[in-house]
Amino acid sequence: MARRKKPQKKIEVDRFRCAYCGACVAVCKFNANELVETFLVIDEEECTLCMSCIKACPMRALAVKEVA
Ligand code: SF4
Ligand code: SF4
């Protein structure tokens, strides 16, 4: 029987909601996100999915997304 692959998750940014305020960057203890010009970039290798940034975002622009 084939082993089922574990579902992978990542933090997804809604670019239409994000106001580039930097609150999520300030709260991330793992330096896993960064504002690059007008984009929030999340380093999936560093991100621990701790969800601190989701809670900190005033625009509700962040969410956990399952990746196939
Ligand atoms: S806290 Fe929310 S609105 Fe602010 S930069 Fe991060 S994702 Fe964008
Ligand atoms: S989920 Fe946690 S580790 Fe990942 S970017 Fe947000 S605050 Fe940083």
pLDDT, tens only, 1-56:
666 667 789 999 999 999 999 999 999 999 999 999 989 999 999 999 999 999 99
Q: Given phi > 0 = left and psi -120 to 50 = alpha, else beta, which region is 31?
A: left
Q: What is the pLDDT of residue 3?
A: 67
CA–CA dist 31, 5 (Å, integer): 28
Q: Number of H helices and number of E strands within the chain? A: 2, 4
Closest residue to atom 6 of ligand 1, CA basis: 24
| Ligand 1 residue neighbourhood (C-beta within 6 Å) | 13, 18-24, 40, 56-57, 59, 61-62
Nearest Cα to Cα of residue 28 among 54, 9, 52, 61: 52
3-state helix, strand, coil in the chain (%, to 5): 15, 30, 55
